[in-house]
Structure 1
Amino acid sequence: MQIILGLLAILVVFALSYFMSNDKKNINYKGIIIMLVLELVITWFMFSTQIGAIIINGVSSVFNKLIEFGSAGIQFVLGGFELQEGGVFFFNVLLLIVFFATILSVLTYLKILPTIIKWVGGLVSKVTGLPKIESFNGVNSIFFGQSEALLAIKSQFHHLNENRLYTVSASAMSSVSASIVGSYIQILPEKYILIALPLNMFSSLIISSFIAPVKVSKEEDEIDITDVCNDKSLFEAMGNGALDGGKVALIVAANLIAFIASLELVNWAIQSVFAGVTLQQILGYVFAPIGYLMGIPASELIKAGSIMGTKIVTNEFVAMLEFQPLLEVISEKTIGIVTVFLTSFANFSSIGIIAGTVKGIDTEKASIVSKFGMKLLGGSILTSILSATIAGLFL
């Protein structure tokens, strides 16, 4: 029964994506089917085979070891503080972004990450039939944040029509930055966060293939990626990575303060009219139907739906922090589905971030992004639903 509901959820997502399409006649159904099969195979392999389990445990061990190293740096600087039980979120979680951003910067300087992204992106393009720019950007978005991913293809913006611009923007919004994955796995189970990374890449390309089909000539499919690393030495790369990570940590902290405080304000306003009702409860009922199709047990629909809705109206960190206390009282299936759903930048604030980045590259195209901003968010929500549903099929 759960498999039937999951397949129905996928069909609903596809139907909504088709309804939102800019060009229904040129939808790349072959590429969509190939990417869906790849998602199913990857998820089955990771969740249902011994080798997949070894890979997930191995990657998790690497992240956990990096967290240990990062924690040593934090302890050296802040070791004199007397922390209450559970610590301080900014110190224990967000400051890890500094170290992870440093590692990412070093790997970029050494050309290790760019080489991996180039070859994997080329393979995705060849297998799916998608243009190289879109394929490269999809892979690039796994590692870099929304702004950095788009800056890497800024030299190609003159090639991007509205549909192609939608696709690269959707990949940026539907992903997460590798620099903050270390913070995520301090809050929620790492295996679900890690599987969400490739799932979101393919899901975003699938949904974009429905909403904004892309067809390019051979001449337009040439790609020359901008080298966004301007560091002249390894130590400069480390220093700049640390500074960038510090900025991200402060931005996340500022957003958390603003969003959580605003959520409290909205709940106070709602409860002034409807006693005992919160925005999270309202969102829980809104998301309950699709949550049921995704495979969430009926008894946990409202709780899970409220978390998913909170992520959309605030951001993933706020939702993850609300979800963390529930891990001990809900099923493993719900934990997996909701965690995968939360692992992306799909929220209202991301529209502004992407539009602002594009404006810095090409002012004219920034107005195009602003025009399809809500469709971009809608597609990214469908991406999160598709990824979470596929994960749920194997839980």
Structure 2
Amino acid sequence: MNFVFLLTGLALVFGIGWLVSSDRKHIKYKRMGILFALQIVISFLCLHTSGGIKTLAGISGFFSWLMGQAAGGVDFVFGGLAIKPGASVFFLNVLMPIVFISALVGILNYIKVLPFIIKWTGWILNKIAGMGELESYFAVSTAILGQPEVFLTVKDQIPKLNEQRLYTICASAMSAVSAAMLASYMKMVPGKFVVVAVFLNILSALIVSCIINPYETEANDELVQISEKKQEPFFQVLGTYITDGFNLAITVGAMLIGFVALVTFLNSSFTAIIHISFTDLIGYVFSPVAFLMGVPLHESMKVGSLMATKLITNEFVAMGNLHAIAGGLSAKANAIISAYLVSFANFGTIGIVTGSIKSISAEQGGYVAKFSMKLLLGATLASVLTGTIVGLYF
């Protein structure tokens, strides 16, 4: 039965992608097959072998340990706050550690560990699937650096890209999540699904791009040179990353206040008018998608509601809602929705991506704005594909 739902999920992704494809006659089936095979191998090793399961547990434990280290700084600054026993403050326990993780990312970037990993992982991915050096580099780097920072590494190339290549890198940016966010995600969903989703999303975005946005890559491409800034003093770089992490945490916190309040308002309004909450209503809309991904029918409405919540608001709001109901969901439903939620595919991210590109090239920013809805659809389909593959093992 799991294999049947793998097929229905794949058919859903391909069918919708085919309908909106810019060139149906030249869909890159070979690349898709190679990338999908990689996903199956990665997911099997991670979720279906003792070594993979132990490795994921180790990675999750490492991030939990990092959260504990981050608590030292948080407690020093906010330890004087009077909080009733047993209470958990989301801003302090989940968002503030982003500052510390961001600092670690900055250090690893400064000592050239991350650039080395990104460069050679991207090179290997390009050699295997032939997606193009720039696209392969960007798909890997966006899963580590996040946005808008990742766009700055290719700022010299962005003005030279055609619309097709621009779509692919933007789709990768929306489908991935930055390393600075991983520990915070693991506070709300099982760490193993966060890690697996990070790996699978890199490939899912490229697979969907092969359907929606097929094009040929040139063997000798002059657009692969990556911009490198002049090396700044270590503590200046560290301070910048710490400040960026704090700003990110504040931004996420502000968005959560606004979005959660908005959803609460809509739930109350819809319940008073039509006697059904807003989240239940959108759950009915997305429940067929959840079912085709492999979610049991009796749970498809709840999972569909979480999927829609993520699309309309952001992944943190949806993860918070999942955390509250996870105990009542089956292992399969939890696995699928947890993996699905680990991406930046939502309406708010469109503004971030468009603004980032526009700050580098106004003309290219206009192109991104023009295909923004197709971009959101592609990133959402990538999340559907990732969730479907994870569901195969539960």
One-letter amino acid of the structure 2 residue matched with residue 75 of structure 1: D
Matched residue SS, 2:357: helix
Rounded to whole Å, the distance in 2 between the matches of 1:150 and 1:20 is 26
Rounded to whole Å, the distance in 1 between the matches of 2:335 and 2:295 is 10
State the match for 1:13 in structure 2: 13
State the match for 2:260 in structure 1: 260
State the match for 2:329 in structure 1: 330
Rounded to whole Å, the distance in 2 between the matches of 1:75 and 1:179 is 19
Residues 221 and 131 from structure 1, CA distance in 2 versus in 1: closer, same or farther, beyond 3 angstroms?
A: farther
- Among the aligned pairs, what percent are the same residue? 38
Are 1:120 and 2:121 an aligned pair?
Answer: yes
Question: Alpha-carbon deviation of 1:20?
Answer: 1.2
Matched residue SS, 1:154: coil
Question: Alpha-carbon deviation of 1:177?
Answer: 1.1
Asked if the contact 2:132–2:218 (Cα under 8 Å) also holds between the matched residues in 1, the reply is no
Asked if the contact 2:159–2:364 (Cα under 8 Å) also holds between the matched residues in 1, the reply is no
Rounded to whole Å, the distance in 1 between the matches of 2:212 and 2:262 is 33
Please give the per-residue CA displacement for 1:42-75, whole angstroms capped at 9, x wherever unaligned. Answer: 0011011111112112211221111111111111
Are 1:239 and 2:232 an aligned pair?
Answer: no
- Where do 1:23-42 residues align within 5 Å? 23-42=23-42
Asked if the contact 2:12–2:292 (Cα under 8 Å) also holds between the matched residues in 1, the reply is no
One-letter amino acid of the structure 2 residue matched with residue 31 of structure 1: R
- Where do 1:175-324 residues align within 5 Å? 175-220=176-221, 222-227=223-228, 232-275=232-275, 277-324=276-323
Rounded to whole Å, the distance in 1 between the matches of 2:147 and 2:23 is 26
Gaps of 5+ in 1: none
State the match for 1:380 in structure 2: 379
Matched residue SS, 1:327: helix
One-letter amino acid of the structure 1 residue matched with residue 278 of structure 2: L
Are 1:174 and 2:169 an aligned pair?
Answer: no
Please give the per-residue CA displacement for 1:93-152, whole angstroms capped at 9, x wherever unaligned. Answer: 100100000000111111110110000000000000111010000001111222112221
- Where do 1:119-138 residues align within 5 Å? 119-138=120-139
State the match for 1:144 in structure 2: 145
Question: Alpha-carbon deviation of 1:221?
Answer: 5.1
Residues 89 and 24 from structure 1, CA distance in 2 versus in 1: closer, same or farther, beyond 3 angstroms?
A: same
Question: Alpha-carbon deviation of 1:25?
Answer: 2.7
Rounded to whole Å, the distance in 2 between the matches of 1:40 and 1:210 is 19
The worse-fitting range, judged by mean Cα deviation, of 93-102 and 217-226 is 217-226
Rounded to whole Å, the distance in 1 between the matches of 2:87 and 2:6 is 37
Question: Alpha-carbon deviation of 1:227?
Answer: 2.1
Rounded to whole Å, the distance in 1 between the matches of 2:358 and 2:159 is 13
Rounded to whole Å, the distance in 2 between the matches of 1:222 and 1:354 is 20
Question: Alpha-carbon deviation of 1:299?
Answer: 1.9
Question: Alpha-carbon deviation of 1:235?
Answer: 2.0
Rounded to whole Å, the distance in 1 between the matches of 2:254 and 2:34 is 41
Please give the per-residue CA displacement for 1:222-242, whole angstroms capped at 9, x wherever unaligned. Answer: 5111125x5523222221111
- Where do 1:64-79 residues align within 5 Å? 64-79=64-79
Asked if the contact 1:259–1:318 (Cα under 8 Å) also holds between the matched residues in 2, the reply is yes
One-letter amino acid of the structure 2 residue matched with residue 243 of structure 1: T
Please give the per-residue CA displacement for 1:283-337, whole angstroms capped at 9, x wherever unaligned. Answer: 1111111111211112211111111110000000011111101122211111110
Rounded to whole Å, the distance in 2 between the matches of 1:175 and 1:16 is 21
Task: Report the aligned-residue RMSD.
Answer: 1.3
Asked if the contact 1:34–1:128 (Cα under 8 Å) also holds between the matched residues in 2, the reply is yes
Rounded to whole Å, the distance in 1 between the matches of 2:222 and 2:291 is 41
| TM-score, length basis structure 1 | 0.97
Rounded to whole Å, the distance in 2 between the matches of 1:158 and 1:255 is 31
State the match for 1:94 in structure 2: 95
Rounded to whole Å, the distance in 2 between the matches of 1:387 and 1:221 is 32
Question: Alpha-carbon deviation of 1:214?
Answer: 2.5
Gaps of 5+ in 2: none
Asked if the contact 1:131–1:221 (Cα under 8 Å) also holds between the matched residues in 2, the reply is no
Matched residue SS, 2:304: helix
| TM-score, length basis structure 2 | 0.97
Rounded to whole Å, the distance in 1 between the matches of 2:110 and 2:58 is 25
Rounded to whole Å, the distance in 1 between the matches of 2:265 and 2:60 is 38
Asked if the contact 1:121–1:132 (Cα under 8 Å) also holds between the matched residues in 2, the reply is yes
